[in-house]
Amino acid sequence: MKKILFGFAFLYLLIPLGCGVYSFTGGSTGDAKTIQIDYFPNTAILVEPTLSQSFTLALQDLFLRQTNLKLTDAGGDLHFEGEITQYRITPIAATAEQTAAQNRLTVGVRVRYYNRLNEEDNFEQTFSFYSDYDGSLQLTGSVLEAAYEDIFERITQDIFNAAVAKW
């Protein structure tokens, strides 16, 4: 009986130690304490005025929610910079009257990532995603907000995965 109790006590102590290197998000920030996410200007041919600020805030928000890193304006252990390189609206389905039945908004972002603590992790990569919406709707108001939400969720998660989850 003592051996069984000793075995359970031993396992009880080992389980938390074994799980210490993992996080619920699948990301590992190593010894990093701070993160710097610069403003992502819109250099695309078609410029949407609120896109840069909305994207930058979405990326900052994701890292602050899913890591214990502190946001800093300069000298961050992890540093993101880049620009929005694509903002395109294209028809993807037509009606019999030769009008768009469905449109697609595509956003592309070039990201440069620097890990000051492990320079082997540095990368420059372009991430893009799209959102489809009904061709009879204007890309304003709630339609634009819903499209941004879909696109930003995917792009920011892809950036997170590339930087700290190594997926």
Q: pLDDT band for 165, please (50, 70, 90 cuts).
A: confident
H helix count then E strand count, the chain: 3, 5
Report whether pLDDT(17) > 70: no
| Least confident piece of the model among 23-27, 37-41, 147-151 | 23-27
Residues of the chain with pLDDT > 70, as a percent, come to 83
Are 159 and 128 spatial neighbours (Cβ–Cβ below 8 Å)?
no
What pTM value is reported for the model? 0.81
- The overall average pLDDT reported for the chain is 86
Between residues 31 and 105, the one the model is more confident about: 105
Residue 34, SS3 per DSSP: strand
Q: pLDDT band for 21, please (50, 70, 90 cuts).
A: very low
Mean pLDDT of the region 117-132: 96
Are 125 and 156 spatial neighbours (Cβ–Cβ below 8 Å)?
no
The Cα-based distances of 135 to 41, 45, 91, 95 in angstroms read: 28, 22, 8, 9
Report whether pLDDT(15) > 60: no
Between residues 7 and 135, the one the model is more confident about: 135
The CA distance from 87 to 109, in Å, is 9
Q: Is beta strand 34-37 parallel, antiparallel or unpaired with respect to 70-71?
A: parallel
pLDDT of amino acid 3: 56
**H, E, C per residue of 99-154:** CEEEEEEEEEEEEEEEECCCHHHCEEEEEEEEEEEECCCCCCHHHHHHHHHHHHHH
